[in-house]
Amino acid sequence: MNRDTVIWVNNGGYLSAIGIPVRKTLFTNTDHIAVYWRGIICYSPDSKNVLEQVLACISGEQVSPVE
């Protein structure tokens, strides 16, 4: 993922990331720098939103919602 990237899931969309115990879905950056990308923000109430066996690594900067 590129620096300062945010994955936004808004109304009308959904995020489905399903891994398995031996092959988890990984959201990370390639440079392994702390707080490199900003994370995943989900505003969608869609029942298809699912994160199972997922690792979100080296992220965490606080992001303000877009008005």
What pLDDT is attached to residue 59?
60
CB atoms within 10 A of CB 45: 8
Which residues lie across from 16 on neighbouring strands? 50
Q: Looking at the 3D structure of the chain, how many domains does it have?
A: 1
Question: Does the structure show a pLDDT above 70 at 62?
Answer: no
In a domain? residue 61: no
Domain of 44 in residue numbering reads as 6-56
In a domain? residue 65: no
Question: Does the structure show a pLDDT above 60 at 60?
Answer: no
Which residues lie across from 18 on neighbouring strands? 52
The rounded distance, in Å, linking the Cα atoms of 8 and 35 is: 17
Structure tokens at 34: 């702390």
In a domain? residue 13: yes
23: buried, middle or exposed (CB in 10 Å: 19+, 13-18, 0-12)? exposed
Each residue's pLDDT tens digit, 7-46: 999 999 999 999 999 999 988 777 766 667 778 899 999 9
In a domain? residue 36: yes
